[in-house]
């Protein structure tokens, strides 16, 4: 087996000594360091080979290193070098020369590294040693499977503490890279095709019934809780090519993105499968609600809205007819633009367990405007519609959704 290649990412103008030391430890551990310089100014403390220098990183982002230097705008430099690093790592991966990524940094270097590894495939080892990862790490992790190691002391020189931490990091990424290279060299036994599914408490019955049917049909179903991070993880998997299909019955994160709730997955939610050509069945699950924390945390402008205390830490707010109409337009536009086989599920009897007749969020007018808007947005497109009289949690509807996804996957194969 060839020596595994590890991209060693860092700003050589501030972390040159540390990068050089880690490159030696990687070699001792049986890995080949591919040094990527994400700094802007001249390297300090590093005199080894640089595989991808800072000018190439800047060019990859469509930028110019001299302009970045003269501007002396640290925020802009971090942003552009992060974009450039992401592109050069993608090129290394596409060329088959990448078995892992190790990055060292403080706040700026960690931001660059987080962007650089964000779009790399699931399963490719990624390790970030940072001063920033003892607190809220969501900005660095996102939906990626990046591994984080707290540097304990600043990444500023080699001392008794930093040498122990960095040596462990080098040993860890070298071992992971060897495993990755071994997997790549050995054809894996093909398991059951994977389907990603989105679920919320109020759509559990639907997704559970659909999952059972898909398992009968020979699939393995990965369920993602639609809490923002779950939706981003589902999008990332669809983008990475791991999934044979997506059962996206629960698109509630779009409501939080529109209105300002706590569980938004961002404006790109419900786009990855369509862009990647992955067959998808998409529903309107839980678009009747926006999520907040404890009732006392609900923003003042929403205090007079229809609120439902789901539990002491979760408060739900019913979406208005106007919001539902906009959600329908937005979701329908995403589906109409899909390059993948797509089925839209419209449950006339309500979009969640508490949107059924007699339940807390039952609002026929809001649902009507949601349905009309989404159907109008997909009219004339290649989207197929399952228009069902029941609630989204009706077993018959769930089974039909599962079988529709199976049919599309088989047709693509």
84-102, pLDDT tens digit by residue? 999 999 999 999 889 999 9
- Could you tell me where in the chain the CATH 3.40.50.12020 domains are found? 5-185
Residues 61, 80: contact at Cβ < 8 Å?
A: yes
Radius of gyration of the chain (CA): 24
362 class by beta-carbon count within 10 Å (0-12 exposed, 13-18 middle, 19+ buried): middle
Q: What is the pLDDT of residue 82?
A: 92
Residues 6+ apart with CB under 8 A from 220: 191, 192, 193, 194, 195
pLDDT range class, residue 113, cuts 50, 70, 90: confident
Q: What is the pLDDT of residue 410?
A: 94
Q: What is the pLDDT of residue 105?
A: 84
pLDDT range class, residue 140, cuts 50, 70, 90: low
- Could you tell me where in the chain the CATH 3.40.50.12030 domains are found? 194-412
pLDDT range class, residue 190, cuts 50, 70, 90: low
Q: What are phi and psi of 240, to 5 degrees?
A: -80, -5
pLDDT range class, residue 119, cuts 50, 70, 90: confident
pLDDT range class, residue 219, cuts 50, 70, 90: very high
More confident residue, 330 or 188: 330
Give the whole-angstrom CA distance, residue 88 versus residue 101. 12
Superfamily of domain 194-412: Uncharacterised protein family UPF0261, NC domain (3.40.50.12030)
Q: Which of 161, 284, 204, 188 is nearest to 242 (CA)?
A: 188
Give the whole-angstrom CA distance, residue 261 versus residue 374. 21
Which of 8-17, 152-161, 318-327 is predicted least confidently? 152-161
Residues 6+ apart with CB under 8 A from 75: none
More confident residue, 116 or 139: 116
Give the whole-angstrom CA distance, residue 314 versus residue 306. 14
State in words which class domain 5-185 has: alpha beta
Spatial strand order in the sheet of 314-318: 289-292, 314-318, 307-311
More confident residue, 240 or 60: 60
Give the whole-angstrom CA distance, residue 153 versus residue 265. 33
pLDDT tens readout for residues 27-37:
999 999 999 99
Residue 187: pLDDT over 90: no
Q: What is the pLDDT of residue 106?
A: 85
């Amino acid at each position: 087996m060839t020596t595994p290649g590890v991209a060693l990412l860092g700003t050589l103008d501030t972390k040159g000594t540390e990068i050089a030391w880690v490159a030696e430890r990687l070699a001792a551990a049986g890995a080949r360091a591919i040094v990527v310089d994400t700094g802007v100014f001249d390297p300090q403390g590093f005199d080894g080979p640089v595989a991808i220098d800072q000018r190439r990183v800047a060019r990859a982002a469509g930028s110019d290193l001299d302009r970045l230097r003269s501007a002396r705008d640290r925020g802009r430099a971090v942003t552009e070098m992060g974009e450039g690093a992401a592109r050069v790592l993608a090129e290394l991966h596409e060329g088959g020369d990448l078995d892992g990524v190790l990055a060292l940094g403080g706040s700026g270097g960690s931001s660059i590294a987080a962007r650089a590894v964000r779009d790399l495939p699931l399963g490719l080892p990624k390790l970030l040693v940072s001063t920033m990862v003892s607190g809220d790490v969501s900005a660095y992790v996102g939906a990626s499977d990046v591994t984080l190691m707290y540097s304990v002391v600043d990444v500023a020189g080699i001392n008794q503490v930093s040498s122990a931490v960095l040596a462990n990091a080098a040993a860890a990424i070298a071992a992971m890279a060897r495993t990755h290279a071994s997997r790549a060299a050995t054809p894996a036994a093909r398991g059951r095709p994977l389907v990603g599914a989105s679920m919320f408490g109020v759509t559990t019955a639907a997704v559970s019934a659909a999952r059972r049917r898909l398992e009968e049909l020979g699939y393995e179903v990965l369920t993602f809780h639609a809490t923002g991070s779950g939706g981003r993880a589902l999008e990332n998997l669809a983008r990475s090519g791991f999934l044979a299909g997506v059962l996206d019955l629960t698109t509630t994160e779009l409501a939080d993105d529109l209105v300002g709730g706590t569980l938004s997955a961002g404006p790109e939610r419900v786009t990855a499968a369509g862009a990647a050509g992955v067959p998808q069945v998409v529903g309107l699950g839980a678009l009747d609600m926006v999520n907040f924390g404890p009732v006392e945390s609900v923003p003042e402008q929403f205090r007079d809205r229809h609120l439902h205390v789901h539990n002491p830490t979760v408060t739900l707010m019913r979406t208005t007819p106007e919001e539902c109409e906009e959600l329908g337009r937005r979701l329908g536009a995403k589906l109409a633009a899909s390059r993948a086989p797509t089925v839209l599920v419209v449950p006339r009897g309500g979009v969640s367990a508490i949107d059924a007749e007699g339940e807390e969020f039952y609002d026929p007018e809001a649902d009507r405007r949601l349905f009309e808007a989404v159907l109008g947005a997909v009219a004339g497109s290649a989207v197929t519609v399952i228009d069902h009289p029941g609630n989204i949690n009706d077993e018959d509807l769930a089974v039909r959704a599962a079988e529709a996804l199976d049919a599309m996957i088989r047709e693509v194969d």
